[in-house]
Amino acid sequence: MVASLSFSERRAVHGHELAHVLLDAREPRTFEDLMAAAGGAEPRDVAAWLGHAVAEGLVAEDAEGFLLRSRGRRVLGARRRAQDPGARPVGA
Protein backbone atom coordinates (compact mmCIF):
# COMPACT_ATOMS: atom_id res chain seq x y z
CA MET A 1 0.00 0.00 0.00
CA VAL A 2 1.36 3.42 -0.96
CA ALA A 3 0.88 6.20 1.57
CA SER A 4 -0.25 9.47 0.09
CA LEU A 5 1.91 12.52 0.59
CA SER A 6 0.80 15.18 3.01
CA PHE A 7 -0.07 18.64 1.75
CA SER A 8 3.30 20.12 2.76
CA GLU A 9 5.19 17.16 1.25
CA ARG A 10 3.38 17.58 -2.09
CA ARG A 11 4.08 21.31 -2.03
CA ALA A 12 7.78 20.68 -1.33
CA VAL A 13 8.10 18.13 -4.15
CA HIS A 14 6.61 20.49 -6.70
CA GLY A 15 8.27 23.55 -5.18
CA HIS A 16 11.62 22.37 -6.50
CA GLU A 17 10.18 22.25 -10.03
CA LEU A 18 8.50 25.64 -9.65
CA ALA A 19 11.69 27.22 -8.35
CA HIS A 20 13.63 25.95 -11.37
CA VAL A 21 11.10 27.40 -13.81
CA LEU A 22 11.08 30.77 -12.08
CA LEU A 23 14.88 30.87 -11.79
CA ASP A 24 15.20 30.28 -15.53
CA ALA A 25 12.41 32.71 -16.47
CA ARG A 26 13.28 35.99 -18.17
CA GLU A 27 9.64 37.15 -18.19
CA PRO A 28 6.67 36.53 -15.91
CA ARG A 29 5.21 33.02 -15.94
CA THR A 30 1.47 32.43 -15.85
CA PHE A 31 -0.19 30.11 -13.39
CA GLU A 32 -0.81 27.75 -16.31
CA ASP A 33 2.94 27.76 -17.16
CA LEU A 34 3.73 26.86 -13.57
CA MET A 35 1.07 24.12 -13.49
CA ALA A 36 2.61 22.57 -16.60
CA ALA A 37 6.10 22.72 -15.06
CA ALA A 38 4.90 21.00 -11.89
CA GLY A 39 3.52 18.03 -13.80
CA GLY A 40 0.92 16.22 -11.78
CA ALA A 41 0.59 18.90 -9.12
CA GLU A 42 -2.81 19.87 -7.85
CA PRO A 43 -3.73 23.51 -8.53
CA ARG A 44 -4.13 24.06 -4.78
CA ASP A 45 -0.54 22.91 -4.18
CA VAL A 46 0.87 25.30 -6.79
CA ALA A 47 -1.32 28.11 -5.43
CA ALA A 48 -0.17 27.38 -1.87
CA TRP A 49 3.51 27.37 -2.88
CA LEU A 50 3.05 30.66 -4.73
CA GLY A 51 1.14 32.16 -1.81
CA HIS A 52 3.96 31.36 0.58
CA ALA A 53 6.59 32.59 -1.89
CA VAL A 54 4.73 35.90 -2.36
CA ALA A 55 4.24 36.30 1.41
CA GLU A 56 7.97 35.66 1.98
CA GLY A 57 8.92 38.28 -0.61
CA LEU A 58 10.44 35.73 -3.00
CA VAL A 59 7.94 36.07 -5.85
CA ALA A 60 6.08 39.04 -7.26
CA GLU A 61 2.75 38.80 -9.04
CA ASP A 62 1.62 41.27 -11.68
CA ALA A 63 -0.95 41.32 -14.48
CA GLU A 64 1.32 39.16 -16.67
CA GLY A 65 2.09 36.47 -14.10
CA PHE A 66 4.72 35.52 -11.54
CA LEU A 67 8.39 36.46 -11.46
CA LEU A 68 11.12 36.08 -8.88
CA ARG A 69 12.11 39.14 -6.92
CA SER A 70 15.79 39.78 -6.19
CA ARG A 71 15.46 38.06 -2.81
CA GLY A 72 13.85 35.05 -4.48
CA ARG A 73 16.74 34.76 -6.94
CA ARG A 74 19.23 34.79 -4.06
CA VAL A 75 17.38 32.34 -1.83
CA LEU A 76 16.19 29.87 -4.47
CA GLY A 77 19.43 30.14 -6.43
CA ALA A 78 21.42 29.25 -3.30
CA ARG A 79 19.15 26.27 -2.65
CA ARG A 80 19.56 25.05 -6.22
CA ARG A 81 23.35 25.35 -6.00
CA ALA A 82 23.35 23.48 -2.68
CA GLN A 83 21.29 20.65 -4.18
CA ASP A 84 23.19 20.56 -7.49
CA PRO A 85 26.80 21.77 -7.11
CA GLY A 86 27.24 21.58 -10.90
CA ALA A 87 24.38 24.01 -11.56
CA ARG A 88 25.28 27.22 -13.34
CA PRO A 89 24.88 30.47 -11.37
CA VAL A 90 21.60 32.30 -11.95
CA GLY A 91 21.92 34.81 -14.76
CA ALA A 92 25.03 33.17 -16.24
| Interval 21-34 mean pLDDT | 93
Instruction: List the domain boundaries for the chain.
Output: 7-83
State the Cα–Cα distance between residues 46 and 20, nearest whole angstrom: 14
Asked if pLDDT for residue 9 goes beyond 90, the answer is: no
Give the CATH architecture of domain 7-83: Orthogonal Bundle (1.10)
| Interval 60-66 mean pLDDT | 95
State the Cα–Cα distance between residues 20 and 82, nearest whole angstrom: 13
pTM of the full predicted structure? 0.71
The C-alpha angle with vertex 87 and arms to 32 and 72, in degrees rounded to 5, equals: 50
| Interval 51-66 mean pLDDT | 94
Asked if pLDDT for residue 1 goes beyond 50, the answer is: no
State the Cα–Cα distance between residues 26 and 34, nearest whole angstrom: 14
